[in-house]
Structure 1
């Protein structure tokens, strides 16, 4: 049964309620497209062939550390209808990080040209949490992708898994790397 807030049903948070998602740590992230539509391309012989939107999804993921300096990236893959990636938050050596920072804006270019597009889009709405990082990523990919296909969309949520030890980290890194080869057995394969 769903909880009610102000007499309205709401979906409970998928986040671990006892965890601060701005904490240092490694996070396995999965983000699906709306209705699991294959916006990002196709897999042929175990190799992902990126569409124009798939190339944007890849480009903007690799730009995350430019906009969130406390983030390092683990393995990442764009699949036909979702992305998998590891975000590693490490604020211990980030002298520019401040708890008082509420928003962060940057300039993001596209692969289409050297012009600046979406100059205020890739911004952090919160306090450098996993949700704000993923939200910023989804926002810029959506904005630019809708110029290519106005029907582009993400599912409203994303899945995260807090990686707690090196064995799990290695297993997830391998899973991400091997994901295109295992596409026919993937739970997101439709």
Structure 2
């Protein structure tokens, strides 16, 4: 894994928020997102000879992921990979969204920003705009948790870690590097920071 990619994850899962306070995460742009299973359990299958093989729970996650982009016209997925205990993806918000009574900030195609909505003021809790990265992730987690727990007869058992990591993709060089990292994730599984034995 490139050293620059490692930097993306340093201490991001243990802090209250790694989000850029200056960015509206419902604004158009490209976003690198990662979320892990609860306790990093291997729920979604296994990697053999550099290829990911989905379990029945992995098939559920895959089906819900694909469905997410048929019911959310404002979102597109450029690349994703379902791993045994996490998902990586690049998603795009492809239309302007009004948030907190103001228009989302403009951006050029070259900047390719990404992010969550920040609180209306410094003291209020963050809200979740209806067409934002956080709204998408929350909906996906809810749908997969419901279906997975129904499948394995485990009502109320957490499937996901409560938080997720997101990274603003600012330019094409970063975009290509992250895309290559996602595509190569199964082949490099044993060197991945999320790797753990079953």
* Fold match by TM threshold 0.5: yes
RMSD of the alignment, in Å?
A: 1.8
For the residue of structure 2 that corresponds to 1:80, the secondary structure is coil
Partner SS state of residue 148, structure 2: helix
> What does the per-residue CA deviation read over 1:32-89, in whole Å, with 9 as the maximum and x for residues that have no partner?
0000000001111111110111111111112222221111111100000000011111
2:62 and 2:82 in contact (8 A); partners too: yes
Q: Equivalences for 1:1-190 in 2 at 5 Å? A: 12-91=16-95, 126-149=129-152, 150=154, 151=157, 153-190=159-196
Q: Secondary structure at the match of 2:31?
A: strand
Q: Which has the higher contact order (CA 8 A, sep 6+)?
A: 2
TM-score normalised by the chain length of structure 1: 0.75
**Residues of 2 paired with 1:74 and 1:91: CA distance?**
15
The runs of 5 or more residues in structure 2 that have no matched partner are 1-14, 101-127
* Greater strand proportion: 1
Q: Provide the aligned length of Structure 1 versus Structure 2.
A: 152
- Say which SS state the counterpart of residue 127 (structure 1) adopts: coil
Give the match's secondary structure for 1:179: coil
- Stretches of structure 1 lacking an aligned partner (at least 5 in a row): 1-10, 101-124
Note if contact 1:39-1:152 (Cα within 8 Å) is conserved in structure 2. Answer: no
